[in-house]
């Protein structure tokens, strides 16, 4: 009876270890779909041209995630997929921002030209 107590204590301890460190999460299927969509969106926004670094990081992480997932390492796969998504999102926003900044600079230039022309026609 006393040895049973001891055995149950050992078992309880082992369960504690497992629940604390060895989480076995499900494969990140939904997250992967979401991240892949984000990569496509970034590419459509011009990330290949305007934010290559972030896009490349995102795609590299996606490959690693797929590899980890294939090995059944779901925890690592989930992390990598989340990071891949964050990279893709940043790549998309950066591309949009860079394109927009370029367009705004063109607009500034055209307005400056207009101003020059206006002042030229106004000088005697």
Partner 1 sequence: MKSSSKRMAATAAVAIFASVILGACATPPQHNDMLEHARGVVAIAQSNPNVAGESRADLATAVAALNQGDAMIKAGKPTADVEHEAYIAERFGLAAQRGAEYSMSEKAIADAQNRRNAVLLSAREQQVVRANDRAETKSMEADAANANAQASAQQNAAAQQRAQELESALADLQAKKTDRGFVITLGDVLFATGRADLKSGARHSLEKLSAFLHEYPQRSVTIEGYTDSVGTDDYNQGLSERRAGSVRDALTGMGISGDRIQTRGLGKSSPVADNGSETGRQMNRRVEVIISETDARTATRAP
Cβ at position 29, least distance to partner 1 in Å: 19
Where do contacts with partner 1 occur on this chain (CB under 8 A)? 2-3, 5-6, 9-10, 12-14, 16-17, 20-21, 79, 82-83, 86-87, 89-90, 93-94, 96-97, 100-101, 103-104, 107-108, 110-111, 114-115, 118-119, 121-122, 124
Cα distance between residue 39 and residue 57, in whole Å: 10
Q: Are 92 and 39 in contact (CB under 8 A)?
A: no
Measured from the CB atom, the residue of 62 and 90 that comes closer to partner 1 is 90
Handedness of CA 15, 75, 32, 82 (dihedral sign): positive
Cβ at position 33, least distance to partner 1 in Å: 18
Q: Are 29 and 48 in contact (CB under 8 A)?
A: no
Measured from the CB atom, the residue of 24 and 122 that comes closer to partner 1 is 122
Measured from the CB atom, the residue of 30 and 110 that comes closer to partner 1 is 110
- Other CB atoms within 10 Å distance of the CB of residue 65: 25
């Amino acid at each position: 009876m006393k040895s049973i107590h001891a055995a149950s204590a050992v078992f309880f301890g082992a369960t504690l270890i497992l629940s604390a460190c060895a989480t076995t999460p499900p494969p990140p299927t939904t997250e992967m779909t979401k991240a892949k969509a984000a990569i496509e969106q970034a590419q459509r926004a011009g990330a290949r041209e305007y934010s290559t670094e972030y896009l490349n990081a995102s795609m590299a992480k996606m490959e690693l995630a797929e590899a980890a997932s294939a090995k059944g390492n779901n925890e690592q796969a989930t992390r990598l997929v989340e990071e891949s998504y964050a990279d893709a999102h940043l790549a998309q926003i950066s591309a949009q921002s860079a394109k927009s900044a370029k367009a705004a600079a063109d607009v500034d230039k055209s307005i400056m030209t207009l101003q020059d022309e206006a002042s030229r026609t106004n000088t005697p």
